[in-house]
Structure 1
Amino acid sequence: MTTVLPPGMPVTFTSDWTGPFDGHELTRNQLEAAGYKLFPWKIESDNPWWSRPLKYGEIGCTLAHLACWRHAAETGDEKFVVILEDDAIVRSTFLDDLLVGLRRVVSGNTFDVLYLGRCPLDPEQDQAVTTGFVSPAYSHCTFGYLLTRSALNVLLATHLEHAIVPIDEFLPSLYIDHPRPDVRARFPKQLKAMAFDPPLVRQRSKDEAGSDTEDSDFVEP
C-alpha cells in the first residue's frame, strides 16, 4: 500500500499500532475480558453466511475498522476519511479521480458513506443518482469507502463493540433495512450511502491475496 498510495495523501497504518489484541491469536475470553461482546450471529437460514458462527478473522476485521473510526474521530479535522483494506487496488490517478468525483457528488447530494468499491448483492435495486454514482442497495465488502466526519459519530454511537457482527453486514445495515430482522433491530438504518459506479477501487482476488477472514477458526461456543 505504501508504494501505490499517492505520496501527498496522509496515511495511518493499523499495522503500526499496538493494540489490545493480536488478530492471529484472538480468543473469546480475551474479547470478553476487554468488555467486547459478540452478537448472537448463527441462525437457522439458507444463507450460508448466517447459518454458521462468526469467525475470528471476521471479528478481527470488524475491530480493525472500529479502531480506524475511533482514531479518525479523535485526531484531525478533515471533512472526509478514507478507509482502505490491504487488498485494495487503487489506480495511479486515485486521488485525482476521488477529488473530481467528490466535487461532482457533493454538489446537490447528501451522503454519509461513499463506497469507493463494493460487491453488490442486489444490483438491480441500486438507484442512479448522478453520472458515475448510485444509491447502493445491499452490498458486501469494505475494502474501500469514505466517511464524513458526522458519520464517524453515528458509527461509534452504535456501540458495535457490544454486539460485534461482520463489518460487511454492519455497514449496509445503517443505510438499508437489513434483511435480517435481528440485525435490523440492533443496527437500524440511519445513514445515507452512495457508491462510485463504476467503482474507483477494486479488490485483489482471494486466489492472489488470500483471506484473513475466511482462513480463520470459528468462534468456540
Structure 2
Amino acid sequence: MITAPDIRGYVVNLPRRPDRRAWIERSLPSDLAVTVTSDWTGPFDGHTLSRAMLETAGYKLFPWQIDTDNPWWNRPLKYGEIGCTLAHLACWQHAANTGTEPFVLMLEDDAVLSPTFLDELLRGLERLTSQTRFDLLYLGRYPLEPDQSALPGFVSPGYSHCTFGYLLTRPALDILLATQLEQALVPVDEFLPALYLDHPRPDLRARFPRQLTAFAFDPPLVGQRPKDEAGSDTEDSAFIDP
C-alpha cells in the first residue's frame, strides 16, 4: 500500500515570492513532507540571472531560437524559463542524493490543490502501479496535441506544456539526470515531453531522445492559478541576449 511517506515533495518557489509560498502552503497536506526551493541558494530567479552567471556555474544553453511559425520557438529563451529549469533540476538532484522514497512529487507555487489532493493521488498511484510501470505522471498540464487512451482515470499524454504538477519515480530521476540537461538547457516543459514522445522539433528530439513512460491523470488532479491572479515568474523576465 502506498502512503504519504512514500512521496518526497518539492515546491518551486522564489525567495522574492513569499506571497506564492504562503498561498500554496495553505493547501499542502500536513502529512506530506515538502522541501521549498526558496530555502535554497541557487540561480533560479530570472530577475537576477545573467549569461555570465550561467557560464561561470558551468551551464550551457541549447541553441533555442529557430526559424518557424511557432512563436515559442521563434524567439530567444527567457532568463525566467532557464531559472525555472534550474530549480526543477536542483530538486531532482537533491532527491537523487538524499532520499529513498519511491516517488518524487514536483509542484510549482501556483499549483491549485483540492482538499482531497493527497488521498486522490495515493489512490491513483495504487491503481496505476498495480497495472503497469511508469516513470512520469502528470497531475496537471496543458495538452497541445491529442492524448491516447490508457487505463481508467489515466491517459498517455501527447505533447504537453507546463510543469506545475507532476510525479516521478525514483528510477526516472537517474534517467533525467543522465541526460546532462545542464549542458543543453531548455525550458523544463519542453524537456519532459521530449523524453516520453518524439518531440516535434528534430533538434530537441536528437538531443533528448525518448526514454520515459508517461501517464497523466484524466481528469487532471492539479490545476494552475490564472496568470492575471498569480503572475508568471518565467514570462516576467528578460530575453537572453543571443
Q: Normalising TM by the smaller chain, what interval? A: over 0.9
Deviations 1:172-208 (A, max 9, x none): 0000000000000000000000000000000111111
Deviations 1:12-45 (A, max 9, x none): 0000012256542100011011110000000000
Q: Say whether 1:90 aligns with 2:98.
A: no
In angstroms, what is the RMSD of aligned CA positions? 0.9
Q: How many residues align?
A: 219
Quote the Cα distance in structure 2 between the aligned partners of 1:131 and 1:108. 11
Quote the Cα distance in structure 1 between the aligned partners of 2:148 and 2:80. 32
Q: Which residue of 2 aligns with 1:119?
A: 142
Seen in structure 2, the aligned counterparts of structure 1 residues 18 and 113 have a Cα distance that, compared at 3 Å, is same
Find the partner of 2:79 among 48, 56, 62.
Answer: 56
State the TM-score, normalized to the length of structure 1: 0.97
**Where do 4+ consecutive residues of structure 1 move more than 6 Å?**
none
Find the partner of 1:183 among 169, 179, 204.
Answer: 204
Q: Structure 2: which amino acid aligns with 1:107?
A: S
Percent identical pairs in the alignment equals 72
Find the partner of 1:108 among 104, 111, 131.
Answer: 131
Q: Say whether 1:141 aligns with 2:144.
A: no
Q: Which structure 1 residue ranges, 5 or more long, are not aligned?
A: none
Q: Which residue of 2 aligns with 1:173?
A: 194
The 5-angstrom pairing of residues 28-67 of structure 1 reads: 28-67=51-90
Q: Say whether 1:206 aligns with 2:215.
A: no
Quote the Cα distance in structure 1 between the aligned partners of 2:45 and 2:156. 36
Quote the Cα distance in structure 1 between the aligned partners of 2:64 and 2:148. 30
Quote the Cα distance in structure 2 between the aligned partners of 1:165 and 1:110. 27
Quote the Cα distance in structure 1 between the aligned partners of 2:44 and 2:55. 12
Task: Indicate if the aligned counterparts of 2:157 and 2:215 stay in contact, CA closer than 8 A.
Answer: yes
Find the partner of 1:163 among 184, 194, 209.
Answer: 184
Seen in structure 2, the aligned counterparts of structure 1 residues 30 and 135 have a Cα distance that, compared at 3 Å, is same
